[in-house]
Amino acid sequence: MATSNLAEAPQSSPLRLKGVFKIRIKEAKPHTNPEGNRSIKFDFEIAEPTAILVDGVDRDVTQLKLRRYCSAEEGKLGQLAALHKAAGLPLEIEWDENRFPSNVDYVGAEMWAELISKADTRKGDDGQPLTNPNTGEALVSYQHDIREFLTR
């Protein structure tokens, strides 16, 4: 019978992104927020590199969730323009009735982007930070974000 000593198992550090990655659009669909502002909701996956080194171990990054809402409102199209330029997509858009580009196929489009992870202290229902009762340290989660689309 084989045994394992879990006391010797390394603790894994949180996965934090910082750097340039190639990302791919998994889904794009129209979105309207409660105030009535229209945007396009993009879900991305990381295409390259597929792993990063954390504590001497390669960690898979392909399953991380990345999302960006780009305004579809006239006069507020800067983020959408940057995405189109970075992915080599058409710069002239024909809008459908949902204010979604009818002449663009987003799914599968790839681009380079600077990605970062932001630490967020978890809070309880009362708004106070949650802490680990064993150590007293605040519980932190990380949100992965697209800082900038790198245009061609």
What's the pLDDT tens digit per position in 1-15?
787 777 766 565 566
Between CA 118 and CA 111 the distance in angstroms is 21
| Three-point CA angle 86, 17, 56, nearest 5° | 130
Q: Is the pLDDT of residue 117 over 80?
A: yes
Q: Which residues contact 83 (CB under 8 A, 6 or more apart)?
A: 42, 68, 70, 89, 111, 149
* 53-78 mean pLDDT: 87
**What is the C-alpha radius of gyration for the chain, rounded to an integer number of angstroms?**
20
* 141 has a pLDDT exceeding 90: no
Q: What is the pLDDT, as a whole number, of residue 119? A: 81
Token readout for 61 is 């990054």
Angle at 76 between CA 98 and CA 95, to 5 degrees: 30
pLDDT at 10: 58
Pick 112 or 128 by higher pLDDT. 112
